[in-house]
Amino acid sequence: MNFLAHLHLAAHTRSSLTGNLLGDFIKGPLPTGLPAPFDEGIWLHRKIDAFTDAHPSHRAAVAGFEAPWRRFGGILVDMLYDHWLSLHWQQFSGAPLPRFLQQSYAQLLEDHHRLPQGLPMALRRMAEQDWLASYQYREGVGAALDGIGRRLRRPLPLGEALLTLDEPRWREAEHGFLHFYPELMRFCEKQIAARRDLP
């Protein structure tokens, strides 16, 4: 999953928003030496990614991309999931998306000062420049993918991959997301409840 979904799932389970996003940047064993809420967020991030990667809907969406784009299918689908989460936001959250993003960015920037190395630069820029609002639009997702593509070892215009999905495959993958995401929300609820019940 990508940044918006991790923020939403963190808020949904009342776990650390910052910790959930740090899961993309902090590898290795837990605990990390950071405050416990950050470690819990990193732990949940890893559970989310493992559940997502193994889910049939996610695998089917990845398979919808043909070569040479399929090797980047995980990145592409994670970004598309943020797009569809934006479009269908009211099904999954009681807070309007602009307010949720504003509050999330404020929390990230506040936590920047609680981290020994501060926020990773990508997260700080995301919060300061409101990247996630653009994910509501296909063009915004394409531009974000192009940015990722420029950072690959062999740069390529990753956003062009979206143009290879015809409308039936696009709708099929979107339908798969709408079936999958509530399952992921329930999975996260159970994982956090079980973790917090441990002695």
pLDDT for res 198: 77
Please give the tally of structural domains in the chain.
Answer: 1
Q: 109: buried, middle or exposed (CB in 10 Å: 19+, 13-18, 0-12)? A: middle
How far apart CA 164 and CA 131 sit, in angstroms, is 24
Length of the chain: 199
Supply the range of the domain harboring residue 30.
Answer: 3-197
The ranges of the chain with pLDDT < 70 are 199
Q: 57: buried, middle or exposed (CB in 10 Å: 19+, 13-18, 0-12)? A: buried
pLDDT for res 199: 67
pLDDT for res 185: 98
